[in-house]
Structure 1
Amino acid sequence: MDESGSAPVELAVRLISETAHDLRSPLASVAATMELIRDGQLGEVTSMQDDVLQAALKQCDYLNALVGEMLHADGLLGGTTTLHRRVVRRSEIQNMVSDATAAVLATKRIELLFDGLDANEAPIYVDATLLCRLLVNLVVNAERASSEDSTILIKAHDDHECGVVRWSVVDCGGGISSEKMRELANPGASPKRAKSDYGGRSTGTGLGLMICRQLATLHYSDLRIRSRVGSGTDVMFETPLAHPTAVATAFARFRNQIFGPAMRPKPIAGDIVPSQSDRSAAASSWKEATLNFVGAGPRCGSRVAIGTTSISGDHAAGAVDTFDRILQSRLGRFEVSYRTTRRTWVWVLDADHRTVADRMRKIDVSLGKLLENVEVTWGEPTVVPVGHRTLQSLLIDRMTTQALSAATSEIFGHAVDRDTVRPGTDPIASSPVAATRLDEELRRLTVRMRHHSDRMKSQSAALRPPRS
């Protein structure tokens, strides 16, 4: 990372965070005073006055949320935000976002639409709270740029080939000019509120989008903005689907692309990254910018350590869930812990051969202080280079092997816990179907190999020179 480029951002965020501490107390006093007036403690309140006070209190709630974002900005940039990634149903995200944005959107009578967030859609692997914050921030930005009686769309499209869900927050507001798009794409620029050149309406793309950039990074994604003045804005990011291959691929791609030696080419700071449609249709006035990661990098830029952790003994599900939350809270931005079964995890630590043992020891000591009588077994770590397919391949192998081993043991009737299947799936019932299919597949492969062998023999005989 270019430290000189991110220094102005870090300084601005630190100043914003310190200022937010000073704003919270007087804001709470103002809200408490208005509540006293609304409740009639200082005299009778008319119906019209009550409506005005309710609207003012809603604005106080919004300001309080904004101050909260300002307080969290320093942690997001420094990578100290506590994470709890888990298997999440999309309907849960929809309900959280709807509740959080209802009051803000009601002021302009804006309708929030959802596409691809039904309960029957494939689950995702995210931190539900942080994903909700990301979507709420984007919706609030869209609301500021939108007119009354308009709509905002949150769309989630599955890309099963890549193992991700592509999210979009689309508005029909004034759009963002090319100049402002360049400011957004420049990681070294000081955060400031950007205004659309269309009607002078504020789009709120300063602090809010800077925080959104970091929240997207925590889900292994860039933040992409596509906009056209007079037409609206589409903000996009990705989250992994909730299966081992998708999570392993998303993390490995994120770690390799940003910090590995085989880094992808990055645009010059401030340049707009053209989309495929822009390149194919020069007449299009849609502009696209990509907001990459900004902040402190990993401790070990060229190596990571991969290993496993398991809990032995008979423990209640609540204790195991607590262990999962504590384990994730001890990991940094460039580390991950994936729960392959109810009692086993695969993790990636930001460490190399010299530091991995000490890193594991510190995590183990921290877990032991918070959870008593829980026997934790740490597997032998493997240190792999960053920037190569080795990281992705090994991570996929570790995650899928553990997830499948529990399922296989359950299918063939081995004595295992009933809750050892991957979280988010139904318990696996004993069935001879899997064994039958395996036998059929082995027979098919045997016949196929025999045919290949016969063909190779005939080709070899044809190539052999004739005897004189």
Structure 2
Amino acid sequence: MPKLSMFQTGLTNNSITPKEDPRVALDFAGHLLTDTAHDLRSPLAAARELTQLVADGVEGPVSEEQKEHLQAVVARCNDMQRLIDDMLHFECVRTGSPRIAKNWLPASGLPAQVQPLIESSRRSRGVGLQWIGFENKLPPMFADGDKIKRLLVNLIDNAIRVTPESGTITVRTELARTGDRIRLSVEDTGAGIAPQQWSQLAKRGVSQLDGHGLGLSICRQIAALHFGQLEVSSEPGKGARFSIELPTGGPAAVVDSFARWRETISPAAASEASAAHRAGERIRPVRRRVDLAANRQTLPVETAPPRYRRSVAMVGVTVSELLPTEPMRDLDRFLQSHCEIHELVYQLQEDQWVMLLDSNIGEAEQRIAAIDRARSQTGDMLLERCQLQWSSPLALAVGRPADRSKLQEAFVTGKLGVHRSLSRRSKEPSQSEDVAGSQPLLSAVAQQRLESEVRWLTQKFRQRQSCLRRQVEAIRPKH
């Protein structure tokens, strides 16, 4: 008989075990991680605020030495809060359903937002921090401000740990050579990265050199959410530099970044060579761009690949009547919240959006109906009353440089045919359609995440086992 699972909110089949279905194990692990992180937030916040009250002298006078110790406790609570946030962010991105809200932001505001978050750790280490290029009148960048702020905080924290006392950390912004991207970089003056340590940077749980945690993994994921990759350059004895590029040249630059990102994660050349071999044709050698400098590396992202590596479904969205400014922003955030990691939602005009979905035509129709149905259930009166007009999905090729121009033209012009409202019947797909539409995504993501977790846990178990054996040998009496 079905019964309620402690990890799920609905009824589950008690006969299905994690060994029989990877998705069950995925749900168990994911719910356990997120529930634990959420449960830790409230007591941690209470401990931090009560400690801060005592440190401020609200409960009575405290000496300077006592205040210093109490502030150290508050700092550790802040570190724990950041770790919890990293856990939740890491889990959301790995499931393929991140929460992101991109818009056009000025880079000049980043120093004032980031500096207070790392000031205490910077002072305790006695290192300098300089911001270069942020005073220039650079064009705005298309990014999620909170995510970029977290990326810079994580990179600067890593740099603080490896920079010696009286050293300097430089955060720099500049236009890339193409002119349609901004490059953000964090440079330290530490010992640099030794050749044998390069392979460790791409592993989860490694921050930089001797650092441990999710900091660098989070940065790699944030770069992926902006259709980019984290680039590292270093020389032994000369420090390291971590950088990311963000689009800044309007919708053409945004869709160009998306297209190049899909080319990076979609091995089109290998599939074409395999197809040519099966057809009996001569296989032409594929030229690969190799960075001859041994001190430069692009870090990969840890996430499931797109379901459709060679195509996307483009959909246009318009509103029947304009809303006030804030409700329009809410609508933009709502549409982006239904965007997966390999997809793009962009507000082309005040009343028009373009969506690039990782779906075929049939699945895109189901996604449209699901999004419109979710809009009518948000609880926001203005959003629920807002009438959305949807275009028919258009399949476009991606994954090769030759596909960029057609994708860019269709995206920038936004001419996707007649937009129509969804009928009541189309908003309520049958249960079998929902299952059929979601099954491939759940299976692909579940399988990859489960295998990754098993490998990582096995490695940690072996390390712990070796440590315990050494401890046993150390305390065993010698005859």
Which of 100, 109, 112 lines up with 1:92 in the alignment?
Answer: 109
* Structural mapping, 1:271-350, within 5 Å: 275-278=291-294, 287-350=295-358
* Matched-pair contact (CA < 8 Å) for 2:322–2:351: no
**Structure 1: gaps (5+ residues):** 1-9, 197-201, 266-272, 279-286, 404-468
* Matched-pair contact (CA < 8 Å) for 1:260–1:386: no
Larger CA deviation: 70-79 vs 327-336: 70-79
- SS state of the match for residue 70, structure 2? helix
* Structural mapping, 1:118-267, within 5 Å: 118=135, 120-159=137-176, 161=178, 163-185=180-202, 189=203, 191-193=204-206, 196=209, 202=210, 204=211, 206-259=213-266, 261-262=268-269
CA distance in 2, matches of 1:40, 1:374: 52
* Matched-pair contact (CA < 8 Å) for 1:76–1:211: no
* Matched-pair contact (CA < 8 Å) for 1:262–1:387: no
Q: 1:264 to 1:163 in 2, by over 3 A?
A: farther
Deviation per residue, 1:288-333 (Å, 9 max, x gap): 2221122112232332111211112242122211111101111111
Q: 1:290 to 1:362 in 2, by over 3 A?
A: same
Q: 1:206 to 1:217 in 2, by over 3 A?
A: same
2:395 is equivalent to residue 395 of structure 1: no
Deviation per residue, 1:118-151 (Å, 9 max, x gap): 3621110001111111111000000110122222
Post-superposition shift, 1:372?
2.2
2:370 is equivalent to residue 369 of structure 1: no
* Matched-pair contact (CA < 8 Å) for 2:207–2:215: no
Q: 1:369 to 1:25 in 2, by over 3 A?
A: closer
Which of 356, 359, 370 lines up with 2:367 in the alignment?
Answer: 359
- Report how many residues are paired: 370
**Structure 2: gaps (5+ residues):** 1-26, 273-288, 416-479
- SS state of the match for residue 369, structure 1? coil
CA distance in 2, matches of 1:222, 1:131: 13
The percentage of counterpart residues that share the same residue type is 30
Q: 1:12 to 1:263 in 2, by over 3 A?
A: farther
Deviation per residue, 1:186-218 (Å, 9 max, x gap): xxx5x334674xxxxx4x265211111111111
- Match in the other structure for 2:68: 51
Q: CA RMSD in A?
A: 3.0
- SS state of the match for residue 376, structure 2? helix
- SS state of the match for residue 153, structure 1? strand
- SS state of the match for residue 362, structure 2? coil
Q: 1:141 to 1:17 in 2, by over 3 A?
A: farther
TM-score with structure 2 length normalisation? Answer: 0.70
CA distance in 2, matches of 1:312, 1:69: 39
* Matched-pair contact (CA < 8 Å) for 2:155–2:242: yes
The higher radius of gyration belongs to 1
Post-superposition shift, 1:115?
2.1
Post-superposition shift, 1:183?
1.8
